């Protein structure tokens, strides 16, 4: 009997838009919050899922992870074969590229799957199934980070998930470019972007975020960072902020998923 042919990769081809340094905010957050798990592992494998038409994001992820976990390896996975062929010349020690999709065609369970700007083109109803499939491929100590950013990485929102499902939502921005926190609404991941309407938790959160930002206007004279930090301190009186000042200084705030999850 002949060997069974490999199944077709799961997913659809994305636009492939990519720019150097676009995912720096997400990468730095991953290195900070997931670095200990990567350091503990004997063979820490990270996946850059849907890296796009050029391999820059995978190269950058390897460099940033190795700054905190020197044994880390990165595998870029793309559903478009031509993109994999174009990336192959960039392979090096610790970096490889593979043809595949949401099935994550690797022999081991990765400690990290990063899926940035991948689900934007999908229907909201498809997100839960994709999350479930990806989480099922994670190492028991693994993390899935899925979200969306603008073309040059100034504004970014992502969901962090463990094998059990979603845990947190992180809002990250270049503070000097921010007029109000709700500017980040256009970068909400697919699971939340259509829920930014009255009656939904994410809409209430962004409304309160803007109000706290307005109330912190006097701190603007000390710089945008001080205004942001005061805003988040006030915000956590009503919302379960899951991080602290060390991350706020980076222009970030992380909130538990349960607080922002869509209503049924």
Distance separating alpha carbons of residues 104 and 89, to the nearest angstrom = 21
Q: What is the pLDDT of residues 63-105, one digit of tens each?
A: 999 999 999 999 999 999 999 999 999 999 999 999 999 999 9
Q: What is the pLDDT of residues 149-162, one digit of tens each?
A: 999 999 999 999 99
Distance separating alpha carbons of residues 122 and 245, to the nearest angstrom = 35
pTM of the entire predicted model: 0.94
Look at residue 5 and tell me whether its pLDDT is greater than 50: no
pLDDT, residue 191, reads 97
Question: Could you give all domains of the chain from N- to C-terminal order, each with its CATH number?
Answer: 24-174+240-259 (3.40.50.150)
3-state SS assignment for residue 47? strand
Q: Under a CB-based contact definition with an 8 Å cutoff, are residues 9 and 80 in contact?
A: no
Distance separating alpha carbons of residues 142 and 72, to the nearest angstrom = 13
């Amino acid at each position: 009997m002949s060997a069974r042919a490999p199944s077709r990769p799961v997913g659809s081809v994305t636009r492939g838009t990519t720019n150097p340094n676009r995912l720096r905010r997400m990468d730095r957050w991953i290195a900070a919050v997931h670095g200990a798990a990567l350091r503990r592992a004997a063979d820490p494998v990270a996946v850059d899922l849907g890296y796009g038409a050029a391999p820059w994001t995978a190269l950058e992820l390897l460099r940033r992870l190795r700054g905190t976990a020197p044994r880390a390896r990165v595998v870029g996975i793309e559903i478009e074969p031509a993109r994999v062929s174009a990336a192959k010349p960039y392979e090096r020690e610790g970096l490889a590229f593979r043809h595949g999709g949401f099935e994550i065609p690797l022999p081991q369970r990765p400690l990290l799957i990063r899926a940035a700007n991948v689900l934007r083109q999908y229907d909201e109803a498809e997100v839960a199934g994709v999350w479930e499939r990806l989480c099922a491929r994670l190492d028991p100590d693994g993390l899935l980070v899925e979200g969306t950013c603008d073309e040059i990485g100034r504004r970014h929102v992502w969901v962090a998930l463990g094998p059990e499902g979603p845990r947190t939502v992180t809002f990250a921005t270049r503070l000097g470019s921010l007029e109000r926190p709700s500017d980040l609404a256009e970068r909400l991941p697919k699971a939340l972007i259509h829920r930014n309407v009255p009656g939904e938790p994410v809409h209430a959160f962004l409304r309160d975020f803007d109000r706290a930002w307005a109330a912190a206007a006097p701190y603007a004279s000390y710089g945008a960072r001080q205004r942001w930090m005061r805003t988040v301190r006030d915000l956590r009186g009503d919302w379960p902020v899951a991080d602290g000042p060390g991350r706020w200084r980076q222009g970030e705030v992380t909130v538990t998923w349960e607080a922002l999850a869509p209503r049924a």
